[in-house]
Amino acid sequence: MSTRKRVAVIGAGSMGSQAMWRLAARGADVVGYDRYAPGHDRGAAGGETRIFRAAHLSEPAYVPLLRLADRLWDRLQQETGRALRHRNGSLIMGESASAPMRTLLSVSAAQGLDHEVLDRAALARRYPQHRLPEGHTAVLDRRGGTIRPEASVQAAAGRAEQLGARLHRYTPVRELAPAAGGGVNVVTDHGTDQVDTAVVTAGPWINTLLPDLPRAVEIRRLVSSWHIPTTHDWFAGGAPSFVRSAPHDCYGLPSPDGVSVKIGLSFARHLPVTDPERLDRTVDPAELGTFRELIGELMPDLNPDPVRLSVYMEGYTESGHPLVGHLPGERDIVVLAGFSGSGFKFSPAMGEIAADLALDGTTEHAIDFLAPTAPGPVV
Ligand SMILES: Cc1cc2nc3c(=O)[nH]c(=O)nc-3n(C[C@H](O)[C@H](O)[C@H](O)COP(=O)(O)OP(=O)(O)OC[C@H]3O[C@@H](n4cnc5c(N)ncnc54)[C@H](O)[C@@H]3O)c2cc1C
């Protein structure tokens, strides 16, 4: 009889595909389930680009996790031969005296991160596509860059399947229940499978499957808007991804094809989602005002008329920290949820940690501050 641990991964999206890869690489008997198929655009992982940063604006404890993710992104690219990440740097801009910018600078210096501080004049010379208001600073995170989310999810899930994992596509899990004698019963429309451990990575659908999480995960609707530059300068200098902290609260990424720039807004501007299966994917013209204002003030060489609008979902926690760990009182159920708009960059690290928790019951990585029961400081 096989002694391999049987692990179910519920949701083969950003976190689940990586968990499947790391579990399969470590010899587990992995069975994944997704309500759609890897790389789909209905959850948190669509829209062709995600920012990777080595630095963090609020919590130094994330830096080792970013380092782990950095190494694993390289490894996934090597193992699959796919170009998933482009290290074109990441610009972080905000009020020089604000708490996020001060934390960013002190953490970057203390942890020896490869970064460069640019004042208004230096930014205007190097990246004339961005305007920096008086009293604001820019920090270039040189190890930052752009990840391709759909390709990454497919690469991780595909690599897991190559290593022996099985994946049930278009198979929503309806229920998880403790099995008699230990383990977990995974219930789908096709029957019930018994596994030793379940890793739940259901993203914006987490409350449908686990309605009693110890920390609330609120689902929000995010609009992404693509704009074509009116000058050729936009992609000069490597065109790093960028984040603007308060008061602008937005981010953006030049598209990999060099044609347009994607802009997104921060949490406060996202509407709540009551039913993730009924996400309103139509964008009303009234929703475009903020994009237009930000472009006019900060990036006037972009045409404010969007060429593409897409709508996605994400789960947010009050603290901004995700829930990563065993569900209280359930030693066979590991949950990863509530990545609060910044989880993609961490996803291979989260996959590795999920594998540790599922196979060993614990992890050596410092994630106590992400425990499902930990309130965590508000970021
Ligand atoms: C517009 C947008 C921009 C973002 N930008 C960035 C960025 O620049 N950088 C960054 O690091 N992060 C970014 N994020 C955040 C990041 O993308 C998310 O944190 C991450 O994708 C969350 O991954 P997830 O695995 O929790 O959810 P998902 O990737 O959505 O995966 C959940 C999966 O579970 C499946 N599923 C759900 N319920 C079930 C069920 N019952 N049975 C079977 N399968 C099920 C779904 O089909 C889905 O495939 C952004 C998010 C959004 C929405």
Antiparallel, parallel or unpaired: β 333-337 and 323-326: antiparallel
Atom of ligand 1 nearest to the CA of 343: 19
- pLDDT tens digits, 286-333: 999 999 999 999 999 999 999 999 999 999 999 999 999 999 999 999
- pLDDT tens for the chain, 379 residues: list them: 457 999 999 999 999 999 999 999 999 999 999 999 999 999 999 999 999 998 887 788 999 999 999 999 999 999 999 999 999 999 999 999 999 899 899 988 888 889 999 999 999 999 999 999 999 999 999 999 999 999 999 999 999 999 999 999 999 999 999 999 899 999 999 999 999 999 999 999 999 999 999 999 999 999 999 999 998 778 877 899 999 998 999 999 999 888 999 999 998 899 999 999 999 999 999 999 999 999 999 999 999 999 999 999 999 999 999 999 999 999 999 999 999 999 999 999 999 999 999 999 999 999 999 999 966 555 5
- Ligand 1 center from residue 341 Cα (angstroms): 9
Rounded CA separation 205/216 (Å): 13
Rounded CA separation 9/209 (Å): 13
Locus of tokens 């789908």 = 188
- Ligand 1 center from residue 92 Cα (angstroms): 23
Atom of ligand 1 nearest to the CA of 40: 49
Alpha helices (H) in 26-141, listed in sequence order: 62-80, 99-110, 120-126
Q: What is the pTM of this model?
A: 0.97
Domain spans of the chain?
A: 6-49+149-215+319-370
Q: Output the DSSP codes for 277-291.
A: GG---PPPGGGGHHH
- Ligand 1 center from residue 42 Cα (angstroms): 9
At 310, the amino acid letter reads S
Query: Can you read off the two tokens belonging to residue 119?
Result: 């004042």
CATH number for the 6-49+149-215+319-370 domain, one of 3.30.450.20, 3.30.930.10, 3.50.50.60, 2.40.30.10?
3.50.50.60
